Structure 1
Amino acid sequence: MVVPPYFDVPPKAYGGVEAVVADLVDSLVARGHDVTLFGAGEPGTKAKFVPVWDRALPERLGEPFPEVMHALKARRAIEYVAATSGLDVVHDHTFAGPLNVPAYQGLGLPTVVTVHGPVDEGDCYQYYRELSDEVALVAISDRQRELAPDLNWFGRVHNALHVDQWPFRADKGDYALFLGRFTECKGPHLALEAAHAAGIPLVLAGKCSEPPELAYFEKEVRPLLTEHDHVFGLADAAAKRKLLSGARCLLFPIRWEEPFGMVMIESMVCGTPVVALRGGAVAEVVVDGVTGRICEDPAELPAAIAEVRAMDPAACRAHVEANFGADTLGRGYEQIYHRLLRPGRKARAARWLDETMPVRVAASELA
């Protein structure tokens, strides 16, 4: 298992990919697998940990050098472990890592790559399109692969979490919550406008440290703030759980094709419904009318905030337990690994192989 070098696994605060990988690793170990994790920072999972850097590199997120150098360091470490202890599959969660596939092929190691970001257009699409057919791509939502159907998709596994690591609270505070990066595509300015129209205070928590994020905050967010709003800043794991469990609802007014959206299942597992704009995987994650409201236009958000107050917090948590639990995550990837190792497997993966995917519980069963 190869993760980016920027945050610990699991992350202490920001780090969506790292949170998913931590739950995946622990789930696989619980299912009897021997997992070696290659990354940076401090060990924090049940896997054997091989740090390929002296420390995590959060301050270098977005720079090309650590991304490429991490791929090189990880390849050398994997070659050593493969030669001394043996490996069966490489599962890469990084951007540059798939470029190591020819080297892994020489070791007889098939490679799975989970695509955590958007791939429907631009540079990322071209990159994944040009990868060898031996790179088995795994989508994190149906919508993600629908937008790029010609990539070498080997399957889809929704992100998930360990339900028992998240608190449940039925009685809610009198505030709405925005939790995410401060960027236009995440829509914190829309969250503020909706909360003000609904007459409810808004707590804004999330990452706002890079120059584009800071510029956006000053231009679009700060002018909208009132005395009833609270800018919390970056929430660590404990603070995030407290904020999510106490909120009347999570506001998720995205303006882009977000591939998944971990914060939605983190909110629902705490018993907190989600008020979202339709986009990306929102309709795969939220059961409209049961665990939240999916709006077509920002003008619908204030009314939705009022509607979700009557929704059952227990139904929100039950939805996550049934569809996005960590064992579902481990089982989904376990099936992909076994199929990848099947003798005589064709290089080009069959598309839309839904038989490997967990069955979703119908909304009617939760109502």
Structure 2
Amino acid sequence: MSEQQPDSKSQLKSQRKPDVATAIVPVADTRFGDGSFPVLAGPGAVESESQIMATAAAVSEAGGLILRSATFLPAELAGDFNPLGTEGLWLLEHASRTTGLATSTFVFEPDQASIVANHVDLIEVGPSRMTRSDVLTAVGETGLPVVVHRGEDATVDGWLAAARAVAGAGSDVILCERGSQGHDPRTAGTLDISAVAVVQQLSDFPVVVNPAPLVGSLDLIAPLALAARIAGADGLMVAVHPNPSAAQFRAGGHLDLDAFELLMDRLGIPSLRDDIDRIDRELLKLIARRLTNSVNIGLIKASKGLPMESSDREAELIAEARSDALAIGLDPDYIEDVMRVVLAHSKAAQEAAARDA
């Protein structure tokens, strides 16, 4: 696909309505664009069951949320490595079931899209395929969320045009900034941190950063990852391998498992905040579920002419909550306050439902 100029009707975020923000893109239980900073990590390619399982265990233990690795590779990228293809997809799926991680892999040709979509949670379009309209359409038609990597020579407008092509075909899109070729031999490539802010102004796509491919030194990955976080990126990609020097694909281009754990430790505060965000989302789901059950009970009571309020039941629930709070080290007075708010809201919802019945 040739590069296109952005739609003349597109608007900067600053020109949009105040309630329009970065789109939230769900990938299994992970969300991009909600203020959290998910980490996607894994080897350049799936090589064996032992390799991908060891990596998956380490990624999960360190706090990563998505296991990513190539399974199909075109000849111009694979070199002497023989990619595992469908077998690699099954190994990724096995690793996902074992660790609970979501999974991601690349699509390089249109006919791979439907195959890949049956095994993973997220599809990636690499920089070498960013301008292929047939690939962009094929991955978009799967309905899975898609990461569109920026090509080394791609302008922001061309990158966004590729993303819009995928979105137009039906999929949610995440952008990935991964650097461009530079002229200074000290830096094999330049990571364009400013692109994070630019694309967030020009679009509502979440944007993640992959600092590894072109920075020239693995030692730079950690500071660039931290810089990406500070710049407002919506996530991070990291190449990780149990034995980087022996990697069959892109040997030496990975962090080892210890270095990855150290990086995640340095990202510790954001990771803890992200965990809190995920817990909050689960709390909201549980509150909604509880409220639905309360309303249903209220409807049954109304149909049978029973009173809505039961002081004995409320006292029993509060007593149980205080006891449970003590057992797990929480302040029972605090938990009682929370429960009274929940119970009051449930009672109001029951009464409203009964009136409308």
- Provide the TM-score with structure 2 as the length reference: 0.31
Larger Rg: 2
Structure with greater proportional helix content: 2
